[in-house]
């Protein structure tokens, strides 16, 4: 069985090369070929000695994911569905803006946290993705987009771990993937531009702060424990006070001077002015620990099993006004790629449940998705 080199950060690749009797600088060259140039064929890597290329050919490969389909939105958003085997499908979404290109990446097939407003959570957990499966989403998207947009420079400037799954429940595989994203010999992304979004796995927030502090987003969605217990079941294990204390500790290592708190606006559930006032009080209480926050209010994408509905716009604006009047930085997330269900995220409907994906796949195959450009053939990254 051959080793997939997408599984390795630079240190692990150097260890692998050492087993082949090669020095570290060879690993760096190889790493650059793979991640900076999207190469899969060792014969392309002409500055590597022939003897190394033949050793690699016999023991290793660069193996990406199988593309099931690509959906291009009128606004430039692109969504890919990848087959990760055994009936599991994951999503990756590219969102272009004038000053950045953001890729939303999945960390698990399904999710065990079971948030009430999240269709992925309703479908349950299948398995953790490997490091190769996590980084292959970036590797593929970057080189595919460069080729298709005719660009030689980097296209993806930001990564958000907000696709399917709770990334901090797949920490061992996540960590090398983050290191590859940040490595100057690979993608060279700034720590400020790589965001891990979590529902609140407190011990792993502390680990991340020690091991690889990148920008942190927390799915909060409620200002008090009884309501959050109901919306984000993990809260029963790590209640709000513990979570916010962990965020304050993280702040000492974080590359940004605030933590982003995601708040999905659910009609009549968590979107009343009283909830906003409770949030203000909560954040002021934790500001003494050094916690600085930014709120991102997110429109809920309804799905039948949730029994929840989207807050009306005036309600969202009234909620935002309470936060803004209290001096809290607050944004309302605009939706992108609506025509392809592409809003990425851990948040309800942002990530499609696996059953939903498969249903849509079936309907796409029958040519029933009008107005969307769908590509079902597997694609090569470059
Ligand atoms: S919101 Fe995130 S943590 Fe919660 S169920 Fe969905 S994917 Fe899992």
Ligand 1 atom closest to 198 (CA): 3
| Domain co-membership, 102 together with 231 | yes
Alpha carbon 7 to its chain's center:
17
Q: Would the pLDDT of 370 be above 50?
A: no
Q: Which CATH number does the domain housing residue 33 bear?
A: 1.10.150.530
Q: Would the pLDDT of 267 be above 70?
A: yes
- Asked if residue 331 belongs to a domain, the reply is yes
| Domain co-membership, 114 together with 214 | yes
Instruction: Confirm if 345 and 351 have CB atoms less than 8 A apart.
Output: yes
Q: What CA–CA distance (Å, rounded) separates 382 from 377? A: 15
- The overall pTM is greater than 0.75: yes
| Domain co-membership, 245 together with 352 | yes
Q: Would the pLDDT of 363 be above 60?
A: no
- Predicted pLDDT of residue 352: 36
- Predicted pLDDT of residue 373: 34
Q: Which of 91, 104, 113 to mutate to test the pocket of ligand 1 (most atoms within 8 A of CB)?
A: 113
| Domain co-membership, 8 together with 99 | no
Q: What CA–CA distance (Å, rounded) separates 279 from 275? A: 6
Q: Is 344 in the pocket of ligand 1 (CB under 6 A)?
A: no
- Which of 11, 27, 61 terminates a domain? The answer is 61
| Domain co-membership, 35 together with 150 | no
- Asked if residue 138 belongs to a domain, the reply is yes
Ligand 1 atom closest to 166 (CA): 3
Shortest-distance Cα residue to atom 5 of ligand 1: 121
Give yes or no: 97 in active site. Answer: no
- Asked if residue 381 belongs to a domain, the reply is no
Q: What long-range pairs does 85-90 form, CB within 8 A, spacing at least 24?
A: 86/126, 87/354, 87/358, 88/126, 88/127, 88/354, 89/354, 89/357, 89/358, 89/361, 90/65, 90/129, 90/133, 90/137, 90/163, 90/164
pLDDT in tens, 302-343: 888 899 999 999 999 999 999 999 999 999 987 777 677 654
Q: Average pLDDT in the 117-145 region?
A: 95
Q: Would the pLDDT of 66 be above 50?
A: yes
* Averaged pLDDT score across all residues of the chain: 89
Please give the tally of structural domains in the chain: 2
- Catalytic entry in 91, 133, 142, 166: 91
Q: Average pLDDT in the 41-58 region?
A: 95
Q: Which of 199, 238, 349 to mutate to test the pocket of ligand 1 (most atoms within 8 A of CB)?
A: 199
- Predicted pLDDT of residue 356: 40
Q: What CA–CA distance (Å, rounded) separates 251 from 254? A: 5
C-alpha of residue 219 to centroid of ligand 1, in Å: 9
Q: Is 345 in the pocket of ligand 1 (CB under 6 A)?
A: no
| Domain co-membership, 246 together with 181 | yes
C-alpha of residue 140 to centroid of ligand 1, in Å: 24
- Predicted pLDDT of residue 245: 97
| Domain co-membership, 140 together with 193 | yes
What are 142's two structure tokens?
């970057």
- Asked if residue 285 belongs to a domain, the reply is yes
| Domain co-membership, 163 together with 176 | yes
- Predicted pLDDT of residue 342: 59
Q: What CA–CA distance (Å, rounded) separates 212 from 204? A: 11
Q: Is 165 in the pocket of ligand 1 (CB under 6 A)?
A: yes
Q: What CA–CA distance (Å, rounded) separates 83 from 21? A: 35
Q: What CA–CA distance (Å, rounded) separates 301 from 244? A: 26
| Domain co-membership, 250 together with 312 | yes
Instruction: Confirm if 98 and 75 have CB atoms less than 8 A apart.
Output: no
- Predicted pLDDT of residue 346: 35
Q: Which domain holds residue 19?
A: 3-61
The closest alpha carbon to 372, from 78, 22, 38, belongs to 78
CB proximity list for 325: less than 8 A, separation 6 or greater: none
Shortest-distance Cα residue to atom 1 of ligand 1: 346
């Amino acid at each position: 069985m051959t080793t997939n080199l997408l599984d390795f950060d630079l240190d692990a690749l150097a260890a692998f090369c050492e087993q082949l009797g090669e020095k570290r600088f060879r690993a760096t060259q190889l790493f650059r070929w793979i991640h900076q140039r999207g190469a899969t064929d060792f014969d392309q890597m002409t500055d590597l000695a022939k003897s190394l290329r033949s050793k690699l050919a016999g023991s290793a490969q660069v193996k990406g994911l199988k593309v099931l389909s690509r959906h291009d939105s009128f606004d430039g958003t692109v969504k890919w569905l990848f087959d990760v085997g055994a009936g599991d499908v994951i999503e990756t979404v590219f969102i272009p803006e004038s000053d950045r290109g953001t890729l939303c990446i999945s960390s698990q097939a399904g999710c065990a946290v079971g948030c009430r407003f999240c269709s992925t959570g309703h479908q349950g957990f299948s398995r953790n993705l490997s490091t190769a499966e996590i980084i292959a989403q970036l590797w593929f998207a970057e080189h595919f987009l460069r080729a298709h947009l005719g660009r030689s420079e980097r296209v993806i400037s930001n990564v958000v771990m907000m696709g399917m799954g709770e990334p901090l429940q797949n920490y061992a595989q996540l960590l090398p993937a983050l290191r590859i994203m940040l490595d100057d010999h690979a993608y060279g992304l700034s720590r400020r531009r790589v965001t891990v979004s979590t529902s609140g796995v407190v011990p792993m927030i502390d680990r991340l702060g020690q091991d690889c502090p990148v920008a942190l987003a927390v799915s909060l969605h409620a200002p008090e424990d009884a309501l959050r217990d109901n919306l984000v079941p993990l809260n029963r294990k790590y209640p709000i006070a513990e979570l916010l204390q962990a965020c304050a500790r993280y702040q000492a290592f974080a590359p940004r001077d605030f933590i982003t708190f995601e708040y999905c606006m659910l009609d009549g559930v968590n979107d009343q002015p009283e909830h906003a006032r409770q949030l203000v009080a909560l954040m002021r209480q934790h500001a003494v620990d050094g916690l600085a926050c930014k709120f991102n209010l997110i429109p809920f994408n309804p799905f039948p099993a949730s029994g929840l509905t989207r807050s009306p716009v005036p309600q969202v604006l009234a909620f935002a006004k309470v936060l803004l009047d209290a001096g809290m930085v607050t944004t309302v997330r605009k939706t992108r790629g609506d025509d392809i269900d592409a809003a990425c995220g851990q948040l309800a409907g942002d990530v499609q449940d696996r059953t939903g994906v498969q249903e849509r796949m079936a309907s796409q195959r029958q040519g029933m998705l009008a107005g969307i450009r769908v590509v079902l053939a597997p694609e090569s990254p470059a």
